[in-house]
A and B are shown apart, each in its own frame.
Chain A
């Protein structure tokens, strides 16, 4: 056992030995009884210096404990089983999913509100404007969209969807929605037909047919 290794041992006892050197020293400690004896005595010196009272010299404790735990099954802690990087990635993935769901929910609510507003404006426009003759499906509705029965009037609301499209979309996708969305959207369709434009659109389409 060289002085260099014993100096490492002394530094290790003080918790000042770098990690890599510690790993090598631990391997050496495993097979070097003389080194183990030195560590025990260095520790004893510290205890005596700190005046811990009449410090007894432990003669066989370490050897007996070492022999006993050699027979023990390997005990790996749950705290270190998962590498920190993996744990972090999993946390981030979870956060990303949660954020996506929340963002999607916000978008859906905003869209529904915008659609409601667009439909209301369309209904109001139809109520105010006098009835007009039906136009053919090939007519250029862009000239006067507010008068078309099959193409609900466009609104200035950003991202607004035509009531007919909205109604068709909602009915078509009703089965794929979550129970919560089904309840709220379904209730909206049932309780406020005027706002969705469904009542107005159906006869209009009928009138348009020859």
Chain B
């Protein structure tokens, strides 16, 4: 999926703020990318607690290196490399092997490694992940057509608000409102998941 150009420009604007000393801008970048980074790290370390530690370390490394970031590449591309290196270093430190999702079941060592790592996944974490995915998909299906189209064009197609407005033949302000209402409707369902016992809403930050 190609990152939308507008989102990249927004990231660069946040990066420039951080480079001027605005730490809250970095907080926003962490909130925005923590799930993706965690997902990335879990390719190497499946234990959720350990993966969160590594993701945290990657973000702190990124913060320390950010003064030297010139913006030649997208911020997430740069962050991606830092996260990968941090995860690899953690693996080396713990003398474990990285695990690919594309497992060759004929390869006994990989099967063994996969089995060992799978043991570290907690049932709660797996259940929460499944529930989140199911809830989001159901909430999307339940949206009115105009809201669903707006958020799909944004999140899946990566279109700018202006392009979505042209596609949907409506003002940009309407696009902005529709995308927000779509997110809010999905978020309402999502909060019920966390409030329902699989996790507490306050935990998800």
Contact = CB atoms under 8 A, between A and B. Distances in A.
Interface stretch (A71-79, A168-176, A197-205): A71-79
Contacts of B28: 12, 26, 29, 39
A58 B125 CA distance: 10
Question: What's the dominant secondary structure at chain B's contact region?
Answer: helix
Given A15-B6, A16-B161, A58-B35, A66 B63 contact: no
Contacts of A41: 187, 190-191, 204
Contact of A16 (B10, B25, B35, B190): B10
Question: What's the dominant secondary structure at chain A's contact region?
Answer: helix
A1 to B, nearest CB: 11
Contacts of B160: 16
Contacts of A113: none
A62 B31 contact: yes
A62 B205 CA distance: 6
B197 interface: no
A62 to B, nearest CB: 5
B10 A12 contact: yes
A75 B155 contact: no
Interface string A38-65: 1111111111111011111111111111
Contact of A36 (B31, B184, B191): B31
Contacts of B171: none
Given A16-B176, A49-B151, A43 B32 contact: yes
Interface residues of B, number: 80
Contacts of A44: 35, 132, 190, 204
8 contacts: A38-B187, A44-B35, A48-B132, A52-B36, A55-B133, A56-B128, A66-B30, A75-B63
Interface of B: 1, 4, 6-11, 13, 16-28, 30-39, 42, 48, 51-52, 55-56, 59-60, 63-64, 66-70, 101, 125, 128-130, 132-133, 136-137, 140, 151-152, 154-156, 160-161, 176-177, 179-180, 183-184, 186-187, 190-191, 199, 201-205
Interface of A: 3, 6-7, 10-17, 19, 22, 26-27, 29-30, 33, 36-50, 52-66, 68-70, 72, 74-80
